[in-house]
């Protein structure tokens, strides 16, 4: 039983570490490390191309273009590009009518190929990206681009705020914790992921990615390997609706996770070459262990079952694991907040394994679908 017991405690320890220990370790390191002085803003405002990749977004694209044109940024330095990825509706027409500078009508290939095409057509020194359903505050672009006053910064993401629609989804609680971790990572070696709602990259640092990859996950670590810094600009705020239901959130994350295998393995996240020790620590703690969490949970459950009868302690730990699963199941008919939190955790953890299964069964993801209920 000794080996089984060791495996059980390793699995439990790694789960506790990635969810709780890692944020505490980051906070301790940030206190010990001298805080970086804020980068001075660029001496002259750079030209920027704000790119929105869109597929069948006629509901929101005009509002998005108007939001972009209303940003507190000199109009002569701002280029708004909408890349319509094989839209079957009036996305391209409405984007033009709303005042977009460039509208690309592309064959359906996926979000990243649409972004690649827009980046190739862009004239700005910096490339900013947003989703069609994300609304930026008026000062968001200035605050986002201020990060590039540091010549070492190649990528910066802003703060994506989720608007609670009063449904069962508990993503907002997780997201606030995630942003706190992102702030600490930015103070240390750099962020390990961004978000699609608000981010920017230097034109010279832009990397054309394959259709299975995403800027959110691949750009931070790939640019770090190339000597750039990837940072978080919390003052640059974008707002969008949260997916209303837990089931919708599961489906969204499952689609996202289908492409993670390619980003982790093919794009080279696991290859340590190019990482400093601190960034490698962040990647292992925040990315690798998080993506391993469904398998760690399975190992913990199976080994715990094998240890039943050896000690009362293992009866308690097994009961706790079953209690989390039972609470997640009960959240359907009884949507109380504690039960919903348990269901959120179980479904989001399961989405990683489900996404990997989809990748094995269906191959590399290509085209993309918008999350239901967020428009």
Range of the domain at 61: 48-244
C-alpha count within 13 angstroms, C-beta hemisphere, residue 327: 17
Confidence at residue 375, expressed as pLDDT on a 0 to 100 scale: 64
Asked whether residue 184 is assigned to any structural domain, the reply reads yes
> For residue 170, how many other CB atoms are within 10 A of its CB?
22
Asked whether residue 358 is assigned to any structural domain, the reply reads no
Closest of 108, 111, 124, 3 to residue 73, by C-alpha: 124
Residue 51: its H or E element:
strand 48-54
Dist. CA 194–CA 220, nearest whole Å: 7
Dist. CA 162–CA 371, nearest whole Å: 13
Asked whether residue 160 is assigned to any structural domain, the reply reads yes
Dihedral, 12, 14, 19, 23 alpha carbons, nearest 10: 140
**In degrees rounded to 5, what are phi and psi of residue 352?**
-65, -50
Confidence at residue 366, expressed as pLDDT on a 0 to 100 scale: 66
Asked whether residue 192 is assigned to any structural domain, the reply reads yes
CATH code for the domain of 194: 3.90.550.10
Dist. CA 322–CA 311, nearest whole Å: 17
Asked whether residue 227 is assigned to any structural domain, the reply reads yes
Confidence at residue 374, expressed as pLDDT on a 0 to 100 scale: 65
β-partners of residue 52 are 82, 130
Per-residue pLDDT of the chain (375 residues; tens, 9 = 90+): 689 999 999 999 999 999 999 999 999 999 988 776 776 777 789 999 999 999 999 999 999 999 999 999 999 999 999 999 999 999 999 999 999 999 999 999 999 999 999 999 999 999 999 999 999 999 999 999 999 999 999 999 999 999 888 889 899 889 999 999 999 999 999 999 999 999 999 999 999 998 888 999 999 999 999 999 999 999 999 999 989 999 999 999 999 898 888 888 778 899 888 999 999 999 999 999 999 999 999 999 999 999 998 999 999 999 999 999 999 999 989 999 999 999 999 999 999 999 999 999 988 776 667 766 666
* Residue corresponding to tokens 């709602």: 197
Residue 187, both tokens: 């103070």
Residue 100, both tokens: 């977009």
Cα-to-chain-centroid distance, residue 123: 27
Pairing of strands 78-85, 199-202: unpaired
Burial class (CB in 10 A: 0-12, 13-18, 19+), 150: middle
Any idea what DSSP says for residue 266? Answer: I
Pairing of strands 153-163, 102-106: unpaired
Asked whether residue 275 is assigned to any structural domain, the reply reads no
pTM for the whole thing?
A: 0.93
Pairing of strands 135-136, 229-241: antiparallel
Asked whether residue 194 is assigned to any structural domain, the reply reads yes
- Assess contact for 121 and 132: CB atoms under 8 A: no
Residue 317, both tokens: 């730990």
Asked whether residue 364 is assigned to any structural domain, the reply reads no
Tell me: the pLDDT tens digits for 195-207? Answer: 999 999 999 999 9
Rama region for 103: left / alpha / beta (φ>0; ψ in -120 to 50; rest): beta
Residue 216, both tokens: 């959110």
Domain count, the chain: 1
Dist. CA 72–CA 119, nearest whole Å: 22
- Assess contact for 244 and 169: CB atoms under 8 A: yes
- Assess contact for 217 and 290: CB atoms under 8 A: no
């Amino acid at each position: 039983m000794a080996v089984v017991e060791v495996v059980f405690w390793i699995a439990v320890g790694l789960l506790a570490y990635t969810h709780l220990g890692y944020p505490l370790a980051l906070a301790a390191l940030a206190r010990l490390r001298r805080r970086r002085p804020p980068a001075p803003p660029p001496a002259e405002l750079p030209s920027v191309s704000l790119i929105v990749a869109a597929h069948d977004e006629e509901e929101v694209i005009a509002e998005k273009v108007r939001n972009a044109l209303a940003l507190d940024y000199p109009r002569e330095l701002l280029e708004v590009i909408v890349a319509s990825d094989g839209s079957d509706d009036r996305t391209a027409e409405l984007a033009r009518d709303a005042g977009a500078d460039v509208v690309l009508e592309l064959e359906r290939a996926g979000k990243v190929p649409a972004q690649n095409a827009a980046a190739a057509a862009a004239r700005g020194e910096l490339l900013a990206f947003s989703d069609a359903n994300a609304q930026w505050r008026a000062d968001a672009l200035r605050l986002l681009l201020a990060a590039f006053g540091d010549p070492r910064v190649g990528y910066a993401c802003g703060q994506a705020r989720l608007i609670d629609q009063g449904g069962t989804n508990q993503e907002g609680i997780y997201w606030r914790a995630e942003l706190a971790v992102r702030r600490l990572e930015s103070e240390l070696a750099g962020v390990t992921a961004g978000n699609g709602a608000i981010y920017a990259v230097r034109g010279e640092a832009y990397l054309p990615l394959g259709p299975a990859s995403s800027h959110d996950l691949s750009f931070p670590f790939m640019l770090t390997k190339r000597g750039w810094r990837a940072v978080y600009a919390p003052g640059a705020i974008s707002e969008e609706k949260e997916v209303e239901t837990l089931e919708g959130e599961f489906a969204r994350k499952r689609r996202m996770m289908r492409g993670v295998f390619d980003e982790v393995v093919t794009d080279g996240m696991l290859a340590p070459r190019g990482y400093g020790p601190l960034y490698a620590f962040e990647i292992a703690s925040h990315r690798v262990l998080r993506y391993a969490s469904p398998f760690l949970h399975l190992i913990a459950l199976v080994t715990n079952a094998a240890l039943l009868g050896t000690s009362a302690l293992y009866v308690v730990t097994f009961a706790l694991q079953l209690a989390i699963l039972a609470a997640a199941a009960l959240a359907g008919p009884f949507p109380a907040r504690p039960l919903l939190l348990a269901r959120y955790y179980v479904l989001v953890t399961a989405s990683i394994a489900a996404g990997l299964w989809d990748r094995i069964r269906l191959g590399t993801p290509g085209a993309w679908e918008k999350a239901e209920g967020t428009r």
